Amino acid sequence: MDIHTTPAIWGAMRARRSRDAASTDGFARMLATCLELGTPWIDHADIYDDGAVEALHGAAARTLPSSDRSRLRVISKCGVRFASPGQPGVRLHHYRADAAWLQQQAEASLERLGVERINLYLLHRPDYLMQAEETARALEGLISSGKIAACGVSNFSCHQVETLTAAGNLTLAANQIELSPFHTTPLDNGQLDHVRRLGMAALAWSPLGGQRLFNADDAVSVRVRTCLKAMQARLPDSPGIDALALAWLRRLGAIPILGTGSRDRLIRQVQEMRAIEMDVQDWYEILEAGRGVRVP
Ligand SMILES: NC(=O)c1ccc[n+]([C@@H]2O[C@H](COP(=O)([O-])OP(=O)(O)OC[C@H]3O[C@@H](n4cnc5c(N)ncnc54)[C@H](OP(=O)(O)O)[C@@H]3O)[C@@H](O)[C@H]2O)c1
């Protein structure tokens, strides 16, 4: 399934601390649920629990029938480094996009995930020391060797995307960015327009503000929650406030990466989000709640 046609992606970052996806059986049920929902794309990164989340995916996928396994689509990312038991010798946060690192990390992810090919491989964060031609060649090499089907970026500005694409013959399939009613910067900094112009997919991480929607008491969170609750009360089917926030992203053409580790929530969020045809005024009301100011 082409990434542009999926209504959502399941993000596995929190899986090992989640209610339903922490065990091999639970994770396998989440994968099966994603297939049933028509959302076969699963988001990973080499750093999620030092690779343990990818390994959990690999173990879980092996318990599924091969016909199901072949329908799953895997995203992974590399390039972020920080001090952790799985990254010996690293003393501070930094980024890497050199060819040797990409090759090594792609192979390690393939091994852990138990797949022959990663469907979409992303540079997790822009490395300010990136030699764009070297990185572009490395990504092209991973594609031509069949290790990845497509590549893209995450948290890249328009200029950083341009620098990378101009350095080779690369087609970047996606930019994974923070985007939600809590974080609307990409609407104005050109990131979203640029992604659309290049025909890339805009993948929205932390679409619910990573729990802020439910329990944070800062002013923005309270405003967004209050707005969505009022909307929920006046809409005929009373969708969840989470589904409304996700529908807000879909109205923009972005694909939300759902971070829930609850199977029931995942099912409800996808089904309710799909059923919402967000009215343009409702969309602007949510934007204003996030920003705290009216559009001029
Ligand atoms: N590229 C990047 O730099 C980057 C950065 C961050 C994340 N990501 C990706 O984006 C994915 C999503 O990010 P995220 O996890 O922050 O997404 P999120 O969907 O904004 O937040 C998920 C959190 O919200 C909770 N939640 C969801 N629905 C809820 C509800 N109805 N009531 C109460 N709590 C609810 C979840 O808890 P429950 O499990 O209990 O539902 C979970 O803790 C990650 O898995 C990862 O794949 C990428």
- Kindly report the protein residue whose alpha carbon is nearest to atom 36 of ligand 1: 260
Judge contact between 60 and 28, C-beta under 8 A. Answer: yes
H helices, E strands: number in the chain: 12, 10
Q: Which of 63, 75, 55 is nearest to 9 (CA)?
A: 75
Q: Which residues on neighbouring strands pair with residue 76, listed in sequence order?
A: 121
Looking at ligand 1, which atom is closest to the CA of residue 18?
Answer: 39
Mutate to test the pocket of ligand 1, among 27, 206, 248, 273 (most ligand atoms within 8 A of CB): 206
Pairing of strands 80-81, 201-205: unpaired
The catalytic residue among 48, 95, 121, 284 is: 48
Write out the residue range of the structural domain in which residue 18 sits: 3-214+255-276
Ligand 1 contact, 259 CB (< 6 A)? yes
| pLDDT value of residue 138 | 98
Q: Please indicate, yes or no, if residue 293 is contained in any of the structural domains.
A: no
Q: Please indicate, yes or no, if residue 226 is contained in any of the structural domains.
A: no
| pLDDT value of residue 7 | 97
- Name the DSSP class of 189: S
Q: Please indicate, yes or no, if residue 236 is contained in any of the structural domains.
A: no
| pLDDT value of residue 266 | 98
Q: Please indicate, yes or no, if residue 289 is contained in any of the structural domains.
A: no
Q: Please indicate, yes or no, if residue 272 is contained in any of the structural domains.
A: yes
* Burial grade of 79 (CB within 10 A; 0-12, 13-18, 19 or more): buried
How far apart are the CA of 259 and the centre of ligand 1, in A?
3
> How many CB atoms lie under 10 A from the CB of residue 146?
9
How far apart are the CA of 96 and the centre of ligand 1, in A?
25
Ligand 1 contact, 210 CB (< 6 A)? yes
Q: Please indicate, yes or no, if residue 112 is contained in any of the structural domains.
A: yes
- Identify the CATH number of the domain in which residue 105 sits: 3.20.20.100
Q: Which amino acid is located at 76 in the chain?
A: S
Q: Please indicate, yes or no, if residue 220 is contained in any of the structural domains.
A: no
Ligand 1 contact, 209 CB (< 6 A)? yes
Instruction: Please indicate whether residue 121 is annotated as part of the active site.
Output: no
| pLDDT value of residue 1 | 79
Looking at ligand 1, which atom is closest to the CA of residue 209?
Answer: 20
State how far the Cα of 46 lies from the Cα of 98, in Å rounded to an integer.
16
Residue tagged 């920003």 (tokens): 291
When divided into structural domains, the chain yields a total of 1
Could you tell me the two tokens for 85?
């038991």
Ligand 1 contact, 265 CB (< 6 A)? yes
Ligand 1 contact, 26 CB (< 6 A)? no
Sign of dihedral through CA atoms 93, 99, 102, 108?
negative
Looking at ligand 1, which atom is closest to the CA of residue 207?
Answer: 20
Averaged pLDDT in 10-residue chunks for the chain of 296 residues = 95 98 98 98 98 98 98 98 94 97 98 98 98 98 98 98 95 98 98 97 98 95 98 96 98 98 98 97 98 95
Ligand 1 contact, 205 CB (< 6 A)? yes
Residues in Cβ contact with 60 at an 8 Å cutoff, skipping those fewer than 6 apart = 24, 25, 27, 28, 30, 31
Q: Please indicate, yes or no, if residue 229 is contained in any of the structural domains.
A: no
State how far the Cα of 91 lies from the Cα of 254, in Å rounded to an integer.
35
